[in-house]
C-alpha cells in the first residue's frame, strides 16, 4: 500500500478494502523502520495520527467522508500545527509548540486527512539541498549518499520512500519543484496567493507559496482542491473561485502550444538531463502539442535578483526572533542587547545568518537604491518576459534542475554553486506564476524533472498537461528500490 497513489488509496478506503487505522499503522511502521536512514521526519505524531484515523473511519462509515478522509500525510515543519512542535528545522524554534493551525493545515484537517508528523527542511526554508537543518541533512531514498533537494527535502524523501501518502511543501525559489525533481515526484507551486500563507512561517513574503509533493498529478489535484481558496487572514490571498481540479483532469485533452526557453539549454545543463527533457517534450508532441522555441531575455538575472530580494525580506521577517517573546533564549546574559545578540547568534545557523546579513546590507542607507530597488526593477522585467511568452504559448516547459541529485556535502562550502541549483525555478516565483515539476526520466539511476510553467491562475492547465503526460509514461510510478 505504501507505493500506491493517494487516489488509489482513497478508492480503497471508500470501498472499505482497508481502514484508515490499518493504513495509518502501515505508514507509522514504515516511519519507525526507515526514518533513521533518511532523517525525513523531525516529529512523528503517532498517537494523534491514530486518533485522526479513528475519526476518519467514523466519517467513512457515516457517509460524511471526502476524497482525502483517512489519507495519511505529512506537513513540512514550516506550517503551524496546533499542539505540535513547529521548528522550521532551526534551533531558534526547537522549543516552539504552535498554538493554532495554519489555514492550509486546517483545511486538510477538516477534509479528514491523518497527520503522521512534521518533515525536516532547510532551516527557515533557506537552502537547496536540505543540509542546513538543525536536525541534520535529509537523505535521498534513491541514493542515500545524495541530497533530496531543498528546502522541502524532508517532505520529498518521505513521499518518495513511502513513509506517507503525500506531503505539503513551500516554494520560495523552487523549494517544492527542485526536491520533486531530485526524488521522482510531482511537485506543484500554485499561483502566488492561491493558497493562504496564514500560519506558514515567513521567509520571503512576496515569494513564499504553499504547495504539494505527491506521486502524480491526480494526487496533486485532490490536495490542491482542498488547500486553495481565499483567506481573509492573509492579505495576499486571492479571492478568485477555485475550480475542482480533480474534475478538470477528466475533461478531454486539447492540443496546447508549448514554449521551450532556448536559454535554458546552455552549458550549465547536464547533457543527460537535457536528453531526458527532450524526450519528455516528445511525449507532449505525441499528444498533439506544438513545440516552439522561445527566449526569456532576462531570465539570466533571476538568481542575482532572487538573492537580493529574498534575503532582504528574510532580514525583516526574522527580526522577530529576538529571544524575548518565544523561541530560543540565551542564558546568563548581561543586558537586553546581549540577550538579542546571543539568542540570535546561538539560534540561527550559518546559512540563515548569511542571508540576514545580506538582506540587511541591501536594505541599508546608501545601498537600497543600488541593490534592492534595482533588483525589483529587474524582477518586473522577468515577469514581463513570461507575460509576453504567454501571448504565443500555453505553457513554458524545460528542465527543473541542471543536474540530478548531487552528493551530500558536495556543495555546502560553495554557496554560489548551491544557489545555481535553482536557476530554472526562481523565475516563476519572481513572477508569481504557477509551476510544477513532473518526473521525465532517470540519469544514472537518479530521477530527472520536467518543469511546466503556466499563466496566473492556470493550475488546471498545469495539472491537466501533467496528468495526460503521466497517462503516457510511467516515470512517476518508479520507486527507489531500497524502499519499494
Residue with cell 512561517: 201
Separation of first and last alpha carbons in the chain: 10
3-class DSSP state for residue 109?
Answer: helix
Q: Which residue of the set 76, 107, 118, 146 is catalytic?
A: 76
155 is catalytic: no
189 is catalytic: no
What angle separates helix 6-14 from helix 217-227, to the nearest 10 degrees? 70
What single-letter DSSP state applies at residue 205? T
By the 8 A CB rule, do 152 and 179 touch?
Answer: yes
Give the C-alpha distances (Å, rounded to integers) separating 339 from 316, 320, 332, 349.
19, 13, 9, 17
Pick from 114, 105, 156: which is nearest to 23 by CA? 114
* Alpha helical stretches, state H, 189-292: 217-227, 245-248, 271-286
Please give the Cα distance from 453 to 259 (Å, whole number). 10
All domains in the chain, ordered by first residue? 6-249+391-483 (3.90.1300.10)
In tens digits, what is the pLDDT along the chain, a chain of 484 residues? Answer: 899 999 999 999 999 999 999 999 999 999 999 999 999 999 999 999 999 999 999 999 999 999 999 999 999 999 999 999 999 999 999 999 999 999 999 999 999 999 999 999 999 999 999 999 999 999 999 999 999 999 999 999 999 999 999 999 999 999 999 999 999 999 999 999 999 999 999 999 999 999 999 999 999 999 999 999 999 999 999 999 999 999 999 998 888 999 999 999 988 999 999 999 999 999 999 999 999 999 999 999 999 999 999 999 999 999 999 999 899 999 999 999 999 999 999 999 999 999 999 999 999 988 999 999 999 999 999 999 999 999 999 999 999 999 999 999 999 988 888 988 999 999 999 999 999 999 999 999 999 999 999 999 999 999 999 999 999 999 999 999 999 8
Q: What are phi and psi of 287, to 5 degrees?
A: -80, -5
Torsion angle of the four alpha carbons 364, 366, 370, 376, in this order, in degrees rounded to the nearest 10: 40
Please give the Cα distance from 29 to 135 (Å, whole number). 22
By the 8 A CB rule, do 399 and 277 touch?
Answer: yes
Residue with cell 547568534: 345
Give the C-alpha distances (Å, rounded to integers) separating 337 from 94, 319, 323, 342, 451.
22, 14, 11, 9, 47
Sheet with 210-214, strands from edge to edge, namely 41-44, 114-119, 72-76, 166-170, 210-214, 186-189, 435-443, 446-453, 395-399, 257-261, 290-294
Give the C-alpha distances (Å, rounded to integers) separating 453 from 194, 362, 433.
15, 30, 7
By the 8 A CB rule, do 108 and 43 touch?
Answer: no
What is the value of pTM for the model shown?
Answer: 0.97
By the 8 A CB rule, do 178 and 421 touch?
Answer: yes
48-52 contacts, C-beta under 8 A, 24 or more apart: 48/83, 48/84, 48/115, 49/24, 49/114, 49/115, 49/116, 49/117, 50/21, 50/24, 50/25, 52/20, 52/24, 52/112, 52/113, 52/114, 52/115
Give the C-alpha distances (Å, rounded to integers) separating 265 from 273, 278, 311.
10, 10, 28
Please give the Cα distance from 99 to 237 (Å, whole number). 22
Please give the Cα distance from 185 to 307 (Å, whole number). 26
Please give the Cα distance from 414 to 181 (Å, whole number). 22
Q: Which residue of the set 151, 152, 246, 437 is catalytic?
A: 151
Beta-bridge mates of residue 170? 210
Residue with cell 524502499: 483
Q: Which residue of the set 175, 246, 302, 458 is catalytic?
A: 175
**3-state SS string over 400-413?**
CCCCCCCECCCCCC
151 is catalytic: yes
Query: How many CB atoms within 10 Å of residue 288?
Result: 11
- Pairing of the two strands 186-189 and 210-214: antiparallel
Amino acid at each position: 500500500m505504501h507505493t500506491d497513489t493517494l487516489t488509489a488509496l482513497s478508492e480503497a478506503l471508500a470501498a472499505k478494502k482497508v481502514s484508515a487505522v490499518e493504513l495509518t499503522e502501515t505508514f507509522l511502521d514504515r516511519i519507525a523502520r526507515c526514518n533513521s536512514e533518511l532523517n525525513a521526519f523531525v516529529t512523528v505524531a503517532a498517537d494523534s495520527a491514530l486518533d485522526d484515523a479513528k475519526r476518519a473511519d467514523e466519517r467513512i462509515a457515516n457517509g460524511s467522508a471526502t476524497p482525502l478522509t483517512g489519507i495519511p500525510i505529512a506537513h513540512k515543519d514550516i506550517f503551524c500545527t496546533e499542539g505540535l512542535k513547529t521548528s522550521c528545522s532551526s534551533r531558534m524554534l526547537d522549543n516552539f509548540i504552535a498554538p493554532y493551525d495554519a489555514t492550509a493545515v486546517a483545511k486538510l484537517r477538516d477534509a479528514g486527512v491523518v497527520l503522521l508528523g512534521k518533515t525536516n527542511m532547510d532551516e527557515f526554508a533557506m537552502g537547496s539541498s536540505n543540509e542546513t537543518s538543525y536536525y541534520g541533512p535529509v537523505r535521498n531514498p534513491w541514493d542515500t549518499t545524495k541530497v533530496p533537494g531543498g528546502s522541502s527535502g524532508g517532505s520529498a524523501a518521505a513521499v518518495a520512500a513511502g513513509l506517507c501518502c503525500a506531503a505539503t511543501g513551500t516554494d520560495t525559489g523552487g523549494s517544492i519543484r527542485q526536491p520533486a525533481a531530485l526524488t521522482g515526484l510531482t511537485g506543484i507551486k500554485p499561483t502566488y496567493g492561491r493558497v493562504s500563507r496564514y500560519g506558514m512561517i515567513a521567509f520571503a513574503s512576496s515569494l513564499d507559496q504553499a504547495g504539494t509533493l505527491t506521486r502524480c498529478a491526480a494526487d496533486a489535484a485532490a490536495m490542491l482542491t482542498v488547500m486553495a481558496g481565499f483567506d481573509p487572514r492573509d492579505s495576499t490571498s486571492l479571492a478568485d473561485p477555485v475550480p475542482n481540479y480533480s474534475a478538470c483532469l477528466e475533461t478531454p485533452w486539447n492540443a496546447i502550444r508549448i514554449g521551450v526557453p532556448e536559454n535554458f539549454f546552455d552549458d550549465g545543463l547536464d547533457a543527460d538531463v537535457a536528453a531526458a527533457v527532450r524526450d519528455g517534450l516528445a511525449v507532449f508532441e505525441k499528444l498533439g502539442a506544438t513545440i516552439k522555441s522561445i527566449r526569456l531575455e532576462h531570465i539570466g538575472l533571476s538568481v542575482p535578483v532572487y538573492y537580493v530580494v529574498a534575503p532582504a525580506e528574510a532580514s525583516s521577517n526574522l527580526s522577530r526572533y529576538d529571544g524575548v517573546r518565544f523561541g530560543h533564549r540565551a542564558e546568563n546574559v548581561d543586558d537586553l542587547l546581549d540577550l538579542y545578540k546571543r539568542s540570535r547568534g546561538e539560534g540561527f545557523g550559518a546559512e540563515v545568518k548569511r542571508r540576514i546579513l545580506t538582506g540587511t546590507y541591501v536594505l541599508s542607507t546608501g545601498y537600497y537604491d543600488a541593490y534592492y530597488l534595482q533588483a525589483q526593477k529587474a524582477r518586473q522585467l522577468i515577469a514581463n518576459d513570461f507575460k509576453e511568452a504567454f501571448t504565443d504559448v500555453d505553457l513554458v516547459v524545460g528542465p527543473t534542475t541542471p543536474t540530478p541529485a548531487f552528493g551530500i556535502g558536495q556543495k555546502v562550502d560553495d554557496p554560489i554553486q548551491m544557489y545555481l541549483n535553482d536557476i530554472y525555478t526562481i523565475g516563476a516565483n519572481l513572477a508569481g506564476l504557477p509551476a510544477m515539476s513532473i518526473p521525465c526520466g532517470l540519469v544514472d539511476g537518479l530521477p530527472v524533472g520536467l518543469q511546466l510553467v503556466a499563466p496566473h491562475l492556470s493550475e488546471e492547465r498545469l495539472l491537466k498537461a501533467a496528468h495526460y503526460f503521466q497517462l503516457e509514461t510511467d516515470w512517476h510510478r518508479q520507486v527507489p528500490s531500497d524502499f519499494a
